[in-house]
């Protein structure tokens, strides 16, 4: 007998349908599993096990106030326990289902145990943990196999059941999954508790969530602090033969050089302008690539204002219902061994009237750009319109139409025109136009693209010009959108150009030029990305739920809670930027490639975390340690009550009686340490503090001293 353990009940039902289709008989529904035809099919509820808490290692009672003495916690061996409910006790439903899994795995008549978790690193370890905790693998005569499903149609399930491989072949995937789980626990548990004890406010600190919030924080502050600069462009916008022609010079002049702009205009206007060349050619345009999850989310966010969490939930549902392939993919390509499957899908689509044909191209099939899963595609199972909600149909049709566009049998033909206008031999201006002659794939995808017509002039024609300086302003950076944040997270070290921000939806003019995405795929495969396709959506959603960021339509904004998080971490010298996060990401990929061990990657994380807990005895003038929430600082010079460390600085406990005395813990972009705050209260003045920043951005050093009930700068030397 074989026992198959699915990640979720819905997957278990789909596996049962595959077995029934393969064998032609029905399986019986039991209490927590199905049985028949030599199979037991049971399920988990996602994660049945979670990593133990610090208290499980220290022996202290869970639920009590966190203590600094317990930090940092670096377990010699990580332990797991059954997932608990809100009351911290084992969830009864979880316990009951695990007991079912254990019973089936330990049965004497079961000789094959099958991991049917989702086909990714998370699904891999979810089921492994269940099986490991049953103890079944320690018994002789039981083998451990893997059911790998690119989609959940009955035919795919039946085929995969015949082609199952040993779990040993997925060991590197499991190793990376466990390493990622351990490292995220180390960062989340240790630094969340540390930051919370420091500030008195729950701050969720994670390996990936912090650099994501930091990116939005940095962008929003850059917008907030942006001061526009005036410059002059040299522009002509005149009619020739009744058609307006706009020419914009490459030359730009700052606001103090308007005279030079006027001189250039005079020089151009005293010359003649002619069309010196005009080239027209007919060309075949190519569609965009198939969708990865993030590229699909970019399109859905931009077109339908659909959040990443909502779009992922819908794609996952469509996958579980057998309409789409596995969603958490980072590739826009198909595997070469899938050609027969794609031909079958194309036949299903052709049968309902779409003009598609199989195409064997490197731009579609490329094994070198697939890590675990191919691009998102529809399956041969096509939903009826009434079976999906409006939002579900929007998601399905977006994937379906791109697939049809890629395999469209009708070419997209266009006439491209390029015209060059020369102004007095001083500068040449290039105008580009395009006329769609045959729509081809544009009937199904990017149909909003329109012809771009240029003036009907010929070589040798004179162009009317009248250049003049036009005042313009430099533009601030743009807020992150779903699209631009996704692009940044996939490759945070790629040069940030304005053109890249809008490149997801390729224009028709350059759609025939294949995008070189080698750099992006190297970043993914080397672990440079922040988060993964499988985790990124959930982490961003957690940042929203934690009150750190907000999403309005398809645009992200920093919230006060996010500003507080980042600024407090800066004061604590906790640096969790894209550089350190990517170092750990690269280590995880090395685990996957068997270049290093799990312990090596975990050790790297422990070293980084240990730095936070090294209470260095810095000189007082460079000290930045703000102490912990509730620490006694001294006596209030106004009312005589105690001054303690609070969330935003060092404040008097007499605030309830109206005392407003306070020493800020962050003044002129410089952390004021608890040591210096104590010196102010005991001696009337701090040590000289280095590194204040003035309003105009200049650094300065000074002491802080008491002046009555106020804190002022003291620039005197002693």
Q: Which sign, positive or negative, has the C-alpha torsion 708, 709, 715, 718?
A: positive
Mean pLDDT lowest among 169-178, 207-216, 261-270, 607-616 = 607-616
**Rounded to whole angstroms, how far apart are CA atoms 497 and 491?**
13
Query: Shortest CA distance to 705 belongs to which of 697, 716, 695, 696?
Result: 716
**Rounded to whole angstroms, how far apart are CA atoms 694 and 231?**
27
When pLDDT is averaged across residues 702-717 and rounded to a whole number, the result is 91
What is the token pair recorded at 413? 């033909």
pLDDT of residue 506: 40
Residue 585: enclosing H or E segment and its boundaries?
helix 578-592
> CA 710: distance to chain centroid?
45
- pLDDT at 520 exceeding the cut of 80: no
- pLDDT at 491 exceeding the cut of 60: yes
Whole-Å CA distances, 230 to 262, 370, 475, 697:
16, 47, 10, 21
What is the token pair recorded at 574? 């906790």
pLDDT of residue 392: 97
72 preceded by a cis bond (ω within 30 of 0): yes
Q: What percent of the chain has pLDDT over 90?
A: 78
Query: Shortest CA distance to 637 belongs to which of 654, 620, 656?
Result: 654
**Burial class, 227, CB count within 10 angstroms (exposed 0-12 / middle 13-18 / buried 19+):** exposed
- pLDDT at 501 exceeding the cut of 50: no
Q: Can you tell me which residue has the tokens 């390729």? A: 506
What is the token pair recorded at 427? 């500068």
**Rounded to whole angstroms, how far apart are CA atoms 206 and 208?**
6
Angle at 392 between CA 387 and CA 398, to 5 degrees: 120
Q: Are 492 and 528 in contact (CB under 8 A)?
A: yes
DSSP 402-471: HHHHHTBSS-EEEEEEEEEEEETTTEEEEEEEEEEEE-GGGGTSSTT---B------TT-EE----EEEE
Q: Are 333 and 524 in contact (CB under 8 A)?
A: no
For the segment 464-473, what is each residue's pLDDT rounded down to a tens digit?
A: 999 999 999 9
E-strand ranges in 559-668 read 632-635, 642-645, 649-652, 662-664, 666-667
Which residues does residue 280 pair with via DSSP β-bridges, in sequence order? Answer: 417
**Rounded to whole angstroms, how far apart are CA atoms 198 and 565?**
12
**Rounded to whole angstroms, how far apart are CA atoms 153 and 175?**
29
Whole-Å CA distances, 536 to 26, 380, 480, 565:
39, 29, 15, 19
pLDDT of residue 63: 73
**Rounded to whole angstroms, how far apart are CA atoms 164 and 147?**
5
- Give residues with Cβ within 8 angstroms of 196, minimum separation 6: 66, 202, 203
Count of H-run helices and E-run strands, the chain:
20, 27
> CA 476: distance to chain centroid?
23
**Rounded to whole angstroms, how far apart are CA atoms 429 and 439?**
29
What is the token pair recorded at 708? 């009555």
The number of beta carbons lying within 10 Å of the beta carbon of residue 702 is 18
When pLDDT is averaged across residues 468-487 and rounded to a whole number, the result is 94
How does strand 555-558 pair with strand 632-635? Answer: unpaired
Whole-Å CA distances, 250 to 5, 166, 228, 257:
64, 62, 20, 15
**Rounded to whole angstroms, how far apart are CA atoms 120 and 72?**
31
For the segment 400-419, what is each residue's pLDDT rounded down to a tens digit?
A: 999 999 999 999 999 999 99
**Rounded to whole angstroms, how far apart are CA atoms 540 and 546?**
10
Q: For residue 65, what pLDDT band results from cuts at 50, 70 and 90? A: confident
Residue 285: enclosing H or E segment and its boundaries?
strand 273-285
**Rounded to whole angstroms, how far apart are CA atoms 105 and 225?**
61
Mean pLDDT of the chain: 91
pLDDT of residue 515: 62
pLDDT of residue 87: 58
Query: Shortest CA distance to 320 belongs to which of 17, 676, 703, 715?
Result: 17
Q: Are 179 and 150 in contact (CB under 8 A)?
A: no
pLDDT of residue 534: 82
- pLDDT at 509 exceeding the cut of 70: no
**Rounded to whole angstroms, how far apart are CA atoms 487 and 499?**
12
pLDDT of residue 500: 40
**Rounded to whole angstroms, how far apart are CA atoms 175 and 194?**
28
Angle at 466 between CA 465 and CA 471, to 5 degrees: 130
- Max CA-CA distance within the chain? 97
For the segment 280-332, what is each residue's pLDDT rounded down to a tens digit?
A: 999 999 999 999 999 999 999 999 999 999 999 999 999 999 999 999 999 99
**Rounded to whole angstroms, how far apart are CA atoms 197 and 552?**
32
The number of beta carbons lying within 10 Å of the beta carbon of residue 192 is 16
DSSP 594-624: TSS-HHHHHHHHHHHHHHHT------GGG--
For the segment 370-391, what is each residue's pLDDT rounded down to a tens digit?
A: 988 999 999 999 999 899 999 9
- Measured N-to-C along each axis, helices 209-224 and 560-571 cross at an angle, to the nearest 10 degrees, of 110
- Give residues with Cβ within 8 angstroms of 464, minimum separation 6: 238, 239, 240, 245, 273
- pLDDT at 193 exceeding the cut of 50: yes
Q: Which sign, positive or negative, has the C-alpha torsion 123, 367, 291, 395?
A: negative
When pLDDT is averaged across residues 25-38 and rounded to a whole number, the result is 93
Q: Can you tell me which residue has the tokens 């003291």? A: 714
When pLDDT is averaged across residues 207-217 and rounded to a whole number, the result is 94
Mean pLDDT lowest among 9-13, 59-63, 262-266, 543-547 = 59-63
When pLDDT is averaged across residues 207-224 and rounded to a whole number, the result is 94
Whole-Å CA distances, 709 to 589, 647, 658, 663:
56, 20, 13, 10
Q: Are 613 and 194 in contact (CB under 8 A)?
A: yes
pLDDT of residue 511: 42
**Rounded to whole angstroms, how far apart are CA atoms 580 and 587?**
11
When pLDDT is averaged across residues 631-647 and rounded to a whole number, the result is 95
Q: For residue 526, what pLDDT band results from cuts at 50, 70 and 90? A: confident
- pLDDT at 103 exceeding the cut of 90: yes
How does strand 699-707 pair with strand 689-693? Answer: antiparallel
Q: Can you tell me which residue has the tokens 């074989």? A: 2
> CA 396: distance to chain centroid?
22
Query: Shortest CA distance to 19 belongs to which of 116, 98, 124?
Result: 116
Phi (first) and psi of residue 55, to 5 degrees: -65, -25
């Amino acid at each position: 007998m074989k026992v198959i353990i699915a990640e979720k009940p819905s997957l278990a039902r789909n596996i049962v349908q595959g077995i029934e289709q393969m064998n032609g008989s029905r399986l019986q529904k039991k209490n927590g599993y199905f049985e028949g035809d030599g199979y037991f099919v049971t399920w988990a509820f996602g994660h049945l096990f979670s990593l133990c808490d610090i208290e499980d290692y220290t022996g202290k009672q869970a639920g009590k106030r966190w203590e600094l003495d317990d930090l940092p916690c670096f377990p010699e061996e990580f332990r797991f326990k059954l997932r608990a409910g809100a009351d911290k006790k084992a969830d009864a439903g979880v316990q009951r289902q695990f007991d079912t899994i254990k019973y089936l795995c330990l049965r004497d008549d079961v000789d094959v145990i099958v991991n049917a978790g989702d086909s990714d690193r998370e699904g891999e370890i979810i089921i492994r943990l269940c099986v490991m905790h049953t103890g079944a693998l320690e018994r002789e005569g039981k083998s451990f196999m893997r059911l790998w499903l690119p989609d959940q149609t009955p035919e795919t399930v039946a085929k995969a059941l015949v082609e199952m491989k040993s779990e040993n072949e997925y060991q590197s995937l499991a190793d990376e999954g466990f390493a990622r789980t351990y490292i995220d626990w180390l960062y989340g548990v240790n630094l969340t508790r540390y930051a919370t004890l420091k500030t008195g406010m729950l701050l969720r600190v994670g390996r990936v969530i912090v650099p994501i919030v930091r990116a939005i924080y940095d962008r929003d502050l850059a917008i907030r602090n942006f001061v526009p600069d005036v410059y002059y462009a040299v522009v002509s916008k005149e009619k020739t033969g009744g058609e307006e022609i706009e020419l914009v010079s490459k030359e730009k002049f700052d606001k103090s050089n308007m005279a030079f702009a006027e001189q250039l205009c005079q020089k151009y206007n005293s010359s003649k302008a002619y069309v010196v060349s005009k080239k027209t050619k007919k060309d075949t345009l190519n569609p965009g690539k198939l969708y990865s999850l993030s590229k699909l989310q970019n399109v859905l966010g931009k077109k339908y204002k659909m959040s990443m969490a909502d779009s992922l939930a819908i794609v996952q549902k469509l996958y579980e219902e057998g309409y789409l392939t596995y969603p958490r993919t980072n590739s826009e390509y198909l595997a070469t061994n899938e050609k027969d499957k794609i031909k079958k899908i194309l036949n299903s689509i052709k049968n309902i009237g779409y003009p598609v044909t199989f195409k064997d191209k490197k731009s579609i099939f490329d094994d070198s750009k697939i890590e675990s899963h191919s691009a998102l595609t529809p399956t041969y199972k096509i939903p009826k319109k009434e079976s999906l909600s409006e939002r579900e149909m929007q998601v399905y049709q977006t994937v379906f139409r791109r697939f049809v566009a890629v395999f469209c049998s009708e070419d997209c033909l266009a006439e491209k025109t390029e015209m060059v206008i020369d102004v007095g031999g001083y500068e040449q201006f290039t105008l580009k136009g395009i006329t769609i002659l045959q729509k081809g794939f544009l009937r199904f995808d990017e149909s909003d693209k329109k012809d771009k017509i240029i003036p009907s002039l010929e070589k040798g024609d004179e162009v009317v010009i009248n250049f003049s300086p036009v005042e313009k302003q430099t533009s601030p950076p743009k807020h992150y959108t779903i699209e631009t944040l996704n692009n940044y997270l996939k490759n945070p070290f790629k040069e940030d150009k304005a053109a890249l921000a809008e490149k997801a939806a390729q224009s028709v003019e350059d759609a025939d030029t294949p995008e070189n995405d080698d750099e992006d795929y190297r970043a993914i495969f080397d672990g440079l990305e922040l988060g993964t396709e499988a985790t990124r959506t959930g982490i961003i959603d957690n940042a929203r739920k934690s009150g750190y960021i907000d999403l309005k339509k398809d645009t992200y904004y920093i919230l006060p809670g996010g500003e507080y998080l980042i600024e407090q971490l800066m004061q604590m010298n906790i640096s969790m930027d894209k550089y350190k996060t990517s170092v750990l990401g690269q280590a995880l990929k090395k685990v996957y490639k068997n270049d290093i061990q799990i312990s090596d990657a975990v050790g790297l994380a422990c070293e980084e975390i240990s730095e936070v807990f090294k209470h260095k005895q810095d000189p007082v003038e460079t000290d930045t340690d703000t102490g912990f929430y509730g620490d006694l600082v001294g006596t209030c010079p106004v009312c005589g009550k105690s001054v303690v460390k609070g969330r935003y600085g060092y404040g008097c406990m007499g605030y309830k009686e109206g005392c407003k005395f306070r020493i800020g813990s962050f003044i002129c972009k410089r952390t004021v340490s608890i040591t210096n705050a104590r010196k102010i209260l005991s001696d009337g003045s701090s040590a000289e503090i280095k590194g204040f920043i003035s309003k105009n951005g200049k650094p300065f050093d000074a002491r802080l001293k008491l002046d009555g009930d106020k804190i002022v700068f003291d620039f005197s030397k002693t």
